[in-house]
Structure 1
């Protein structure tokens, strides 16, 4: 399995927001909800318009069936409201514009591979390596930890980890600490 890293540089995060916003409101909101919620891509894909109408979004995670509740970040509220205006509550927030190949169904969520493709296109544009669908979730954790290290117990719980070492490794801090320790060597 490919190891992916969080986005560590706030300037790149801001650049990616601008990059997505100037090309596709759907992709911009997908990116922003990912870095502000800590949800897995599979859970982002199944968000409904109804869930996005509120200041808090509650979601039962597909992988572990935990109930996750998160605040819609105020910086994207206005854009999100404009994006969902006129859409039916039962529509997927990130609906595909195409008919699904096998099922022939319309108005289904975009596929993981579609999300991977547009996220990786932006990552390449910004020179990011070790980038994948989990990067958004890891970026959320990395930023929350750097905001205040006392958030570590919250992250352990939010990620469903049993040990802080797992969480620190997951958000890329173990590597950061190793790199810094190596640089201090004489």
Structure 2
């Protein structure tokens, strides 16, 4: 009888991935990806925009070439069919510039192209493996995957920048702020913490 991998879900069960909660871990992952411009751009775009990886993987070089800081790109979410947008902030622009300087890319090339020769994008399965590897390499415990990047955006915005659940709910196209709170894995400690505030 073979022993089951504790990081592999039982068939038929659902697995919830966690956000990367530590700003130090996020910085370390970015440093680790310094010489991998494609992977760095994926990590930075996802954690700065909160867009599902499946939607990011559809982007082509021409969609973002020539974009400057504060520019936006409108997309249609695959899951909801709703419009959403990608913002080019300083971090995204820096990673994008670095990526475009790393090679010669036609406008029709996928931004996050697979390295298997054809002009195909990375798959979600590949991104899952990549994120798990990055988190393991910075000694993070827990379950991580492609969706962790979207959750990381929301968690950092909420916990480190104090952005309200209502704003994040709109950003994520969730039905209610309660869903957003549960989605981000905000634990009871944060809620209990406010009870220490004397009035």
* TM-score normalized with structure 2 length: 0.79
Q: 1:25 aligns with which of 32, 37, 47?
A: 37
Residue matched to 1:46 = 58
Q: 1:56 aligns with which of 68, 72, 89?
A: 72
Instruction: Provide Cα deviations, 1:107-141, integer angstroms capped at 9, x if missing partner.
Output: 11011111111111111112221211111000101
Residue matched to 2:105 = 87
* Count of matched residue pairs: 174
Residue matched to 2:47 = 35
- Structure 2: state its 5+ residue gaps: 1-13, 195-199
- Between Structure 1 and Structure 2, the one with more helix by share is 1
- Structure 1: state its 5+ residue gaps: 100-105, 182-186
Q: Are the structure 2 counterparts of residues 17 and 41 from structure 1 closer, same or farther at C-alpha, using a change threshold of 3 Å?
A: same
CA contact (8 A) 2:129 2:145 kept: no
Q: Are the structure 2 counterparts of residues 176 and 48 from structure 1 closer, same or farther at C-alpha, using a change threshold of 3 Å?
A: farther
* CA-atom RMSD in angstroms: 2.0
Q: Are the structure 2 counterparts of residues 31 and 79 from structure 1 closer, same or farther at C-alpha, using a change threshold of 3 Å?
A: closer
Deviation at 1:69, TM superposition (A): 1.1
Residue matched to 2:6 = none
Q: SS at 1:27's partner residue?
A: helix
Residue matched to 1:97 = 115
* TM-score normalized with structure 1 length: 0.84
Q: Does 1:12 align with 2:29?
A: no
